[in-house]
Structure formats: structure tokens, C-alpha cells
Amino acid sequence: MRIHIATDHAGLEFSTQLQHHLAAAGHEVIDHGPVEFDPLDDYPAFCIRAAQAVVRDQAAGIEALGVVFGGSGNGEQIAANKVVGVRAALAWSIATAELAREHNDANVIAIGARQHTFDEASSFIDRFIATPFSGEERHARRIAQLAAYEQDGSLEPDPRATPGRPDVLDADDSSFDPEAG
């Protein structure tokens, strides 16, 4: 499988270890991160490029996933999720890594390199890569809803909307009263 990775300065040492680990497991690793340590570099462009490459490869029928990481993994996940077609999930355990693939068909995993040992983080990544999407109808339906919103802004109907009470997004004013409970 082709694995696109990206980080910033916070994950540069982790990146080198991870590239060796993934290559030893038989994966083709493409690094979109920095080439040298710069404590002032910024993760968005690195992570967005990795995410774009995942989407491009998948559209071309190439089996590919992404791994983005930094100090916490939060910003890297946010950056990757700006790319249309990416479903990036922050994983902090084996279970969250597995569920990201199994239920959400996530194609990018985000890891906090400063939050875990290398062995812990690499085990999350390995499980993410090894876990297939379940394909269950309820999960596929939800992913389709996300894709529809991403494509044209469409949402499922608001179940609270009734005649005389529009969808909260269509309302001109907010009827929410924080003191009413």
C-alpha cells in the first residue's frame, strides 16, 4: 500500500522512524513533510499535500492512506480535513484507530507524536492500515451524507423543523433561550 505521510518540526524524528517502520512492513512511503528541522515551520501545507495525494491516488485506483502527525495531531487532522474527499481521524488508541477505518472509512490518520511513544503510535498506525472499512449500510449512509455536504452543502432534514418552525439553519433569528433550559 502507498502511505503518504506529513508532519512539521514536532514530528520530524518520529517521521524518520515511521518511514523505516512502514517500509519494512512492505509499504511504499511518500514523505510530504519538511526535509530539515525548522522550529518555526508550519504543518498546514505539509499535511494538505499529503491529504491531496491520498485523494488523488484513491481516485486513480491506487490503494493509499495518509498519516499526519505533529505535537498533538489536532491541527494536522484539521488541515487534512480541508481537502475534499479526506476523512481524517485523530487516533489515540488502538480502538480509535480501528474504528476510524471500520466505521468511518477514514483515509488519513492523525497522531500526536508528543503524546505517545513510538511503539504506541506505530501500533495505532499499523492497526489503521490493516483495518478495512466494514461497508455496513449505516456507516456507508453516514459517509455519503458527509460527502453530500462537502459537495453541495446539503443536509438531511432537521427533525425539529415543523410548519411554522423552520430548520434552525433557515431561521432569521435564534429562538434559543439559554436561561429557559
The residues annotated as belonging to the active site are 76, 103
Q: Could you tell me if 76 and 6 are in contact, meaning their C-beta atoms sit under 8 angstroms apart?
A: yes
Q: Could you tell me if 49 and 72 are in contact, meaning their C-beta atoms sit under 8 angstroms apart?
A: no
Q: Could you tell me if 166 and 132 are in contact, meaning their C-beta atoms sit under 8 angstroms apart?
A: no
Q: Which of 131, 148, 133, 6 lies closest to 75 in space, CA to CA?
A: 6
Q: Which helix (H) or strand (E) holds 30?
A: strand 28-31
Q: Which helix (H) or strand (E) holds 3?
A: strand 2-6
